Chain A
Amino acid sequence: MSSLFASLSVAVNALHAEQGALDATANNVANANTPGFSRERPVFTEGDPVTLGALTVGTGVILQRLEAVRDPILQLRIDDETQQQGRLDALVAGMNQLQVRFSASDGDIGNLISKFFASINQLSTDPGNLALRQGVLLAAGNVASAFRNTYADLQDQRTNLDLNVIQDVNQVNSLSKQISGLNAEIVAMQNLGRDPSALEDQRQALIEQLGGLIDVATVQSESGLTLTTRSGSAMVVANQSFALSVRPDSSGLQRIYYQGSDITGNITSGELSGLLQLRDEEIPGVAAQLDTLAAGLANQVNAAHHGGFDLSGTPGGDLFVAPSGSGVGAAGVLAVQITDPARLAASSDSSSPGDNGNLLALAAVRDQAIGSGSSPTNYYSSIIFGVGNEIANDSAELDASKLMLRQLQDQRSAVSGVSLDEEATNLIRYQRAYEASARLVTVINDMLQSVINLGKE
């Protein structure tokens, strides 16, 4: 036989359960627009049945816990894509800054080289003309300063990237510290049997931020969450975080160290990797090409100039300041050696200052191969192609990555996002159930009243 008090407790449990479910709904609705929030749903279970004589009766409902709805695998893919996007974002932004120097303009290196050769051709019509000679020196000076300015721009950009690297590393350290703190709190709450869902959401948001900066892999274990870089350096283990440090190398550029070892080359995604790729590969690559072009041009022009004689019949010296043997850094220091236009060796005959034979030799440098077998202009246009192509490829990759991330986030939102319609229906369900349970309490109360008053009056 059953008991009224048992029924009463079933009704009261139900009241608690529905109230708890309403709490979840309230929290969901409140966080409908909170980024990174995962909706929660109540997990109801039946109470264990009790057998009273011949009857087995249910003991009502138990609200076991509120469960956050997440898809961990999807989250891993989002993390991956975020890291990829962080790298590409940094790369494209940096390269866009760089390509401005290589956009066609009156002052770009290629155009000034053309003008230099044009000035030589012009002088060949009147080799003794001092104004035309001055024109050649001026054009040579413009070529040199265009090289120097472009080179200095590249170096400036590199220095700025270096500062960004330091900032990013600081940010990484602060994030991993926060994550390890949250790790500790989450474990503590779990040990107390509490729901750490809110903290997990916060931690996830921080991990995403971290992934935007550096490549991280997440491993969930009993004792909490472990974050490592893809190359295996643990950054967060349970409640401990391990900081990265920066130290300048011999050239003054910051290297990234983990526990005393240099991991600069091992960072493969996230903004840091993009910055490092720009700083250590893209910009030095372009600078090296400029060096080859500057050194090649200067050497060829000088060689041709040596073969001639100036207005006073003296053999020609260097027209450009001779670049160093290796040519490294040549673009940064390119300068014109000659200041006196009379010293320009136009003649190929020491006794004929009106001869223009050597100007033809100088003009021929236009078609002579410098580095990798192409003429100066062709070499310059191959630099343009290289820079443009890099950006075009990276941009395409970035677009694809954005689309991918967008879709993944849509999927996440489909799983974890708050739907107000759904919450409204839940609200009705839980409210009605609550009302019903409350009604039950009233009914049982009435029945108990009847029992208590049995035999009276």
Chain B
Amino acid sequence: MKKLGIVAAVIVLLLVVVIASTMRGSREPSAAPSSIPPSVLSQPGQDPDAFSPSGTPVPTSSLTQTDEPDVYAVAVAEVVFGLDTRDLDPAAYRDLLLADADPGLSATGRADLEALIAGRIPADELWQRMRANDQWSTFEASDVWEPGSWEQVVTSGQAEPGWALRNVTGIQTTHYVEGGVEKTSSRERTVTIGMRCSADGADVDRCYLVLIGATVVP
């Protein structure tokens, strides 16, 4: 049975390598520095009351523009775990995250990211039930770290300049109203965030979103 454990470890490593391969492969080779479109939601001076394509207001706190992987990963995690159903809808959250997608993602890479984001956001019907309870959540990050298996990817040359992977853990507190009484529920949450940040050889000037893991990469 120990051998099964070793195999499991190898599978995890292979998974990370696949992630690395995809991060590399998902870039458009022709993406030039000047072709990078700005993030719609995180540009300085943008009207905070801007509306998403779905017609609903987007969150007023846009993703942090930063070149620090730790800071960026926490910012993404705060959006992922900080849903507010009272005024927004699922499309608004999807748009917020996708607006910060790595501009070098290919159509396939973007589709993958869209699928991963879709798995993180409640479906419309459930969202409406949550909204009926005035449900909203906050996320307080307590730790951010680079997954151990990612280092092996980097040292083996699988990662290109700028690619970064971080795990973020913290406490999600969900607020809701039940029977006229305000209640809260808290639990620990962890998520793996993949990104491309500026580095020698990387054609971006800050961190952009590549991956929101469906599971936590060890």
Q: Do A and B come from one complex?
A: no
Chain B residues within 8 Å of A, Cβ to Cβ: none
